[in-house]
Amino acid sequence: MTVTEPTGRRERKKLRTREALISSAFELFARKGFEATTVEEIADAVDVSSRTFFRYFASKEDVALTFQEEQHAALLAALAARPADEPIMTALRRTVVGIARACEQGEQGFDPDRFQCLQSLMASSSALLASSLEHSQKKQADLTRAVADRMGLDPATDLRPHVVAATAICTMNAAADAMRAGVLGDACLAETADRAFAILDEGWDPPRA
């Protein structure tokens, strides 16, 4: 009965179609922008119908967010790999900075071009930014669970893990934002994020340089 291992020609074909759609989508997005690219164009470029596109992705935004999906998975994995005796915020800081570096340097299978592409798309398309933020919010629940585990707390009754996870994610977002605005000159995301977490550590009140 072998439960039908998912390794046939059909599955491979599906995978290829999916990758092809993502690939042509990013190419078109980079060339014409997010809004100006229609689903039909993406589908045509892979020679499938737009109806098929929507069988692979729930929305036009969704195809761009596959990147963030991977980012998120990598983040959870990296967090799990950090030493258990590390203070929670330190662990999160190292994890976030590590993922940022991976995205920018193309480590761990991340495509730095797509990463940069996505960064500029987010700046120009509010629909995409909105979806991205929603995605982060949804995934924040996972992070909250992971954080709660690590701290030995129950997320159903303790606010602490919620606040910690939210702080980590928003610090990352704030760093991305600040980087786009060039607040730290042309520092990369990893550096900016590291500085942002440092501010969390040092406290906000002693800003007297």
Please state, in angstroms and rounded to a whole number, the distance separating the CA atoms of residues 193 and 174.
8
**Cβ closer to DNA: 10 or 208?**
10
- Determine the interface stretch with its own copies among 21-29, 34-42, 74-82, 194-202 (rule: CB under 8 A): 194-202
Residue 45 binds its own copies (CB under 8 A): no
Report the distance separating Cα 63 and Cα 130, nearest Å. 14
Burial 20-50 (b: 16+ CB within 10 A, else e): bbbbbbbebbbeeebeebebeebbebbebee
- Are the C-beta atoms of 77 and 65 separated by less than 8 Å? no
Q: Is 153 in the site for its own copies (CB under 8 A)?
A: yes
Told to check if 134 binds DNA by CB under 7 A, we report no
If binding is defined by CB under 8 A, does position 195 make contact with its own copies? yes
Question: Using CA atoms, how far apart are residues 88 and 84, in angstroms rounded to an integer?
Answer: 9
Q: Which is nearer to its own copies, 42 or 147 (CB)?
A: 147
Q: In sequence order, which residues have a C-beta less than 8 Å from that of residue 87 and are 6 or more positions away?
A: none
Structure tokens at 205: 């009140």
Site membership for its own copies, residue 123 (CB under 8 A): no
User: Which of 19, 31, 58, 124 is close enough to bind DNA by CB under 7 A?
Assistant: 58
15 binds DNA (CB under 7 A): no
Between 9-32 and 39-46, two packed helices, what is the crossing angle to 10 degrees? 130
Which residues bind to DNA, rule: CB under 7 A? 4, 8-11, 13-14, 17, 37-40, 47-52, 54-56, 58-61
Which residues bind to its own copies, rule: CB under 8 A? 87-89, 126, 129-131, 133-134, 137, 140, 151-153, 155-160, 162-167, 169-171, 173-175, 177-178, 181, 183-184, 192, 195-196, 199-200, 204-205, 207
